[in-house]
């Protein structure tokens, strides 16, 4: 069928009008989007927690569980609301001025609090048990056992089919009775034996077989493992604080395990815990040999002090910063000192003295007494058959054009970091802020390098090594924050600066006040933080948490060019102030 041209134009006009009408209708169809918490997420909160997201259009009246919630110009919203244990529903309702509305029921799960009460039923409770993960120990090593059942019973623990021993009821604690405990050592060896608790004087109470096992092996039967990752985290205890950071390729003898954690001998009397995934026992022909520290020589350059020690590679070590002194130490593990002489360069003006001692059979300590403070950074590298210790001096003779500043836009790649109410990601906001900071620093004459300038990024554990290999003088990691579950983001909101080493603390002391003034927030303080990008010792390093991205007005503010420029200028002023105090 042929249609005359005027009819074609008419059909085209009608079609355009239909599309416009549908678009307009969609634009005014109310919709509620929850960004956090995720649907059915387990939220560890007791009495209240926060919920945020955005609505479209950015108007109307929003209520969540009957409480009115402010809608910001971006459509973003944030509310901190009471919650109850169990499956908890956020009942969200948006009503527009034309009477149209949207409703969304958003379930999450709030864990029930653990209530310690005296057991009334004839049973052994399945909570409050220990061990709660499979254990591996040495012969003669004490293991702790605990269970909870009715008071005044005879309770025993059976290990496989080889041994049974009694548990004893503890004194009433906070009104609770029926907690039975014991410590026991085993001659062994045995492998993955079951653990069963039994009540011998009450036939109604069924034995409880734990879903974990106990292994007792003599030391020679535990494997030697090789560290797979540079600066591998070694902890004081499972999930505990960091003890030190291990060298890639170093060998350690296991002395036990606790679930996913291997207990390894850093030295004869110094155990540490390392995650299984960070080491391998698939090593053939490799054995742990006693290593040594040999003769020592010292040389000096304009900006650094170099100490050369004859030794093997992959020595695990730990630097020691002595408070309020010009003394710096380094402790080596699995070594013995064999230092017969020290050869200083003539006129080494920045070094007063070096002392060394054998603290234990396989632990050595070297202390450096310096004529400058603070140390700008320090590091250990290997060249041929020597360890090279570098202690960097202050930058008092360097011009801005000679100073290298490494900027790290936090997160990136698949790691989005925090997410704002309308979906803006911390990774993106960090990058945009970092690029403005870099431009500001370059305009002031500094050399600037970046761990990333796009969404492609270095893995977290490679960022500090990149800065060190680039011979950066200052490292700054830029972030935007998010609170923990159960907190009120508005009450938590603050500007925070984190450091690890003394040089980072000094940098933070000068930079943090400028940053606080730029953000106008309360003082989140200068804080010690055991963070990957701060704990390296190669240079002065800090991590900045500018503001809390989950707050709607913050998400709006950090996208403004004027705010980014103000923050960038504050960081530049802080660096200038820090360097000028030299």
Nearest 5 degrees, angle CA 346-CA 349-CA 353? 90
Let me know whether 230 and 304 are in one domain.
no
CA-to-CA distance for 150 and 172, rounded, in angstroms? 12
pLDDT of residue 328: 92
Helix (H), strand (E), coil (C) string for 551-572: CHHHHHHCCCHHHHHHHHHHHH
pLDDT of residue 128: 86
- Residue whose C-alpha is closest to residue 263's, from 218, 213, 222: 222
**CATH code, 51:** 2.60.40.10
Let me know whether 446 and 574 are in one domain.
yes
CA-to-CA distance for 519 and 569, rounded, in angstroms? 11
Let me know whether 384 and 295 are in one domain.
yes
pLDDT of residue 7: 59
Helix (H), strand (E) at residue 491:
helix 489-492
Strands (E), 410-530: 447-450, 474-481, 495-499, 523-528
pLDDT of residue 69: 97
CA 49 to chain centre: 22
Let me know whether 538 and 421 are in one domain.
yes
> Domain boundary at 157, 190, 213, which?
213
Let me know whether 233 and 207 are in one domain.
no
Task: Say if 337 falls within a structural domain.
Answer: yes
Task: Say if 25 falls within a structural domain.
Answer: no
pLDDT of residue 1: 47
Helix (H), strand (E) at residue 512:
helix 502-519
pLDDT of residue 202: 95
CA-to-CA distance for 386 and 313, rounded, in angstroms? 8
Task: Say if 275 falls within a structural domain.
Answer: yes
pLDDT of residue 165: 97
Let me know whether 418 and 518 are in one domain.
yes
Q: What's the number of domains the chain is made of? A: 5
pLDDT digits (tens, 9 = 90+) for 89-122: 999 999 999 999 999 999 999 998 877 789 999 9
Task: Say if 361 falls within a structural domain.
Answer: yes
Single pTM value for the model: 0.84
pLDDT of residue 398: 77
pLDDT of residue 349: 86
Task: Say if 24 falls within a structural domain.
Answer: no
pLDDT of residue 465: 87
Extract the residue ranges of the chain whose pLDDT is less than 50. Answer: 1, 3, 22, 25
Let me know whether 333 and 358 are in one domain.
yes
pLDDT of residue 440: 97
Q: Compute the radius of gyration of the chain from its Cα atoms.
A: 31
> Domain boundary at 232, 260, 280, which?
280
Domain ranges, residue 228: 222-280
Bridge partners, residue 377, by sequence: 392
CA-to-CA distance for 318 and 330, rounded, in angstroms? 6
Let me know whether 452 and 519 are in one domain.
yes
Let me know whether 484 and 574 are in one domain.
yes
Let me know whether 511 and 455 are in one domain.
yes
> Domain boundary at 349, 369, 392, which?
392
**CATH code, 188:** 2.60.40
CA-to-CA distance for 298 and 309, rounded, in angstroms? 9
| Structure tokens given for 386 | 């020597």
């Amino acid at each position: 069928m042929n249609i005359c041209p005027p009819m074609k134009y008419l059909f085209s006009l009608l079609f355009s009008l239909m599309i416009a009408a549908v678009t307009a209708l969609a634009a005014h169809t109310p919709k509620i989007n929850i960004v956090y918490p995720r649907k059915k997420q387990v939220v560890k909160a007791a009495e209240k927690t926060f919920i945020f997201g955005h609505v479209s259009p950015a108007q109307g009246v929003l209520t969540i569980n009957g409480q009115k919630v402010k809608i910001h110009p971006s459509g973003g919203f944030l509310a901190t609301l009471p919650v109850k244990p169990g499956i908890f529903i956020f009942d969200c309702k948006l009503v527009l001025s034309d009477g149209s509305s949207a409703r969304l029921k958003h379930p999450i799960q709030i864990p029930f609090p653990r209530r310690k009460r005296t057991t009334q039923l004839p049973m052994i409770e399945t909570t409050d048990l220990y061990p709660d993960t499979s254990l591996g120990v040495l012969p003669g090593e004490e293991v702790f056992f605990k269970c909870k059942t009715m008071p005044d019973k005879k309770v025993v623990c059976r290990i496989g089919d080889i041994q049974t021993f009694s548990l004893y009821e503890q004194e009433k604690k906070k009104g609770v009775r029926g907690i039975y405990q014991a410590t026991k050592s085993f001659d062994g060896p045995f492998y993955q034996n079951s653990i069963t608790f039994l009540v011998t004087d009450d036939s109604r109470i069924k034995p409880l077989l734990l879903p974990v096992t106990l292994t007792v092996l003599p030391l020679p039967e535990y494997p030697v493992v090789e560290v797979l990752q540079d600066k591998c985290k070694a902890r004081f205890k499972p999930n505990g604080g960091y003890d030190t950071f291990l060298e890639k390729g170093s060998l350690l003898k296991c002395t036990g395990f606790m679930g996913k954690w291997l207990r390894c001998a850093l030295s004869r009397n110094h155990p540490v815990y390392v995650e299984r995934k960070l080491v391998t026992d698939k090593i053939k022909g490799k054995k742990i040999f006693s290593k040594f520290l040999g003769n020592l020589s010292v040389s000096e350059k304009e900006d650094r002090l170099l100490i050369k020690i004859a030794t093997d590679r992959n020595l695990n070590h730990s630097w020691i910063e002595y408070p309020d002194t010009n003394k710096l130490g380094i402790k080596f593990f699995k070594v013995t000192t064999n230092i017969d002489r020290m050869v200083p360069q003539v006129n080494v003006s920045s070094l007063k003295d070096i002392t060394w001692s054998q603290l234990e059979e396989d632990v050595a300590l070297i202390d450096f007494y310096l004529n400058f403070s603070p140390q700008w950074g320090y590091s250990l590298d290997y060249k041929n058959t020597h360890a090279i210790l570098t202690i960097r001096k202050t930058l008092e003779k360097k011009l801005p054009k000679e100073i290298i500043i490494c900027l790290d836009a936090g997160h990136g790649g698949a790691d989005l970091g925090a997410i704002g109410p309308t979906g803006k990601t911390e990774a993106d906001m960090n990058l945009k802020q970092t690029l403005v900071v870099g431009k500001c620093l370059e305009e002031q004459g500094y050399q600037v390098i970046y761990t990333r300038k796009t969404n492609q990024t270095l893995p977290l554990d490679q960022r500090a090594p990149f800065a060190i290999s680039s011979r950066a003088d200052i490292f700054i990691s830029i972030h935007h924050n998010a609170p923990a579950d159960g907190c009120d983001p508005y009450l938590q909101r603050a500007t925070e600066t984190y450091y690890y080493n003394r040089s980072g603390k000094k940098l933070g002391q000068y930079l943090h006040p400028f940053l606080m003034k730029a953000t106008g927030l309360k003082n989140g303080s200068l804080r010690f933080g055991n963070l990957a990008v701060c704990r390296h010792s190669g240079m002065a390093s800090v991590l900045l948490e500018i503001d809390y991205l989950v707050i709607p007005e913050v998400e709006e503010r950090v996208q403004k060019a004027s705010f980014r420029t103000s923050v960038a200028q504050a960081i530049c002023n802080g660096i200038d102030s820090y360097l000028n105090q030299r």
